[in-house]
Amino acid sequence: MHKTRLSPNGPAISALALGAASLGSVYSDVSQDNADATVHTALELGVNFIDVAPYYGLTKAETALGHALSGIARDRYVLATKIGRYGDKDWDFSRDATLRSLDASLARLGCGHIDVLQCHDIEMGDYRQLVEEAIPTLHDLKRQGVIGFVGITGYDLPLLERVAVEHNVDTVMAYCTYTLQDQRLAPVARRLQAHGISVFNASPLGMGLLTRRGPPDWHPGHASVHAAAAEAARLCEAAGTDISRLALQFALQGAIQNGMATTVIGSSSPANMRDNIAALSQPIDQALLAQVEAILAPVRDKGWDVLPGNGGKAGK
Ligand SMILES: NC(=O)c1ccc[n+]([C@@H]2O[C@H](COP(=O)([O-])OP(=O)(O)OC[C@H]3O[C@@H](n4cnc5c(N)ncnc54)[C@H](OP(=O)(O)O)[C@@H]3O)[C@@H](O)[C@H]2O)c1
């Protein structure tokens, strides 16, 4: 698989990464057997970067991932997790909570070292605590060699860009903002890369939006976006393919062209993960892509309002 570099002096990481939120049963119930098989399939087929967080399934995803990774040599994967978000509306970017969270993540994941530790959904928590406590604590942990890189994640691109540059972070994870439907991350990623900051493109399927099954009921996108995506999915199905394949190919190609370090897809299915990896070496169907882009054009780059304290859910 195509590899890029995590930070200018960091390890090589796969251009497609596994997002382990799904393993916390955030989309559907996932057994430990399925979680194990998904992780093992991804690693065997060349994925070496995995992202998770304490928030996903309220620690279930980290526990399931730790089980799946037990017995696997630590140098076979690069691991990212997060601090700061502990519930739908529960943020704590204090120094004490950050240190406690890291210890708990290490125990659940069964390893002694986190490669990338990220402040989770920075637009939703307390800004002063973020910049005066959480980020400085992560820089301390990096200096001590406890973590490899300091990261931030979220949805609000202007805020992510400003905090990343002003507070000298190594990585930025943005989600649902480089997909078939929304490409606002592209210019931001190019600017961040010029600062030596690695960008992770999370949720290339728009958190299930660009799948045959469609988005989960908690999806914050606007009804017009859901309707256009459903129409595009039906068109792909009629053409004998699944929109998720086209969506992943599009996101991955664009991510590489715009200098993003990796694209983080979530899956709790070994079969889907196998399809996702296979899609990377198949040519994109340009005629179908043009038809899908035409359907999505009226809702292109239409995101949702971020309401602080509203758990990342949509506004009006
Ligand atoms: N704020 C943040 O830091 C943040 C926010 C969002 C995401 N992320 C990261 O990005 C990762 C990916 O995001 P995500 O999981 O929310 O969204 P996503 O990758 O856009 O979509 C995941 C959904 O797509 C489905 N899927 C995957 N491959 C498929 C295929 N080949 N065919 C049909 N359906 C397929 C999955 O179902 P199956 O399980 O059935 O395959 C799952 O329901 C997360 O796990 C997390 O690591 C971070």
Domains and CATH numbers, the chain: 3-221+244-284 (3.20.20.100)
Burial code (b: 16+ CB inside 10 Å, e: under 16) for 121-140 equals: bbbbbbeebbbebbbebbbe
Q: Which residues contact 309 (CB under 8 A, 6 or more apart)?
A: 89, 124
What is the distance in A from the centroid of ligand 1 to the CA of 208?
Answer: 6
pLDDT along the chain (316 residues), means of 10: 91 97 89 96 97 96 97 96 94 97 97 96 95 98 97 96 98 98 98 97 97 93 96 97 96 96 96 94 95 97 70 39
Distance, CA of 131 to CA of 267 (rounded, Å): 32
Distance of CA 269 to the CA centre of its chain: 17
What is the distance in A from the centroid of ligand 1 to the CA of 278?
Answer: 17
In a 3-state reduction of DSSP, which class is residue 53?
coil
pLDDT of residue 26: 83
Distance, CA of 235 to CA of 58 (rounded, Å): 36
Ligand 1 binding residues, C-beta < 6 A: 19-22, 27, 51, 120-121, 153-154, 173, 175, 202-208, 211, 242, 244, 264-269, 272, 275-276
Which helix (H) or strand (E) element contains residue 49?
strand 49-51
pLDDT of residue 306: 65
Distance, CA of 13 to CA of 46 (rounded, Å): 10
Distance, CA of 221 to CA of 215 (rounded, Å): 9
Site to substitute for ligand 1 among 13, 265, 304, most atoms within 8 A of C-beta: 265
pLDDT of residue 311: 43
pLDDT of residue 309: 45
The minimum-distance atom of ligand 1 relative to the CA of 312 is 1
pLDDT of residue 310: 42
Catalytic residue among 27, 56, 77, 86: 56
85-87 and 90-91: which strand pairing?
antiparallel
Site to substitute for ligand 1 among 60, 203, 213, most atoms within 8 A of C-beta: 203
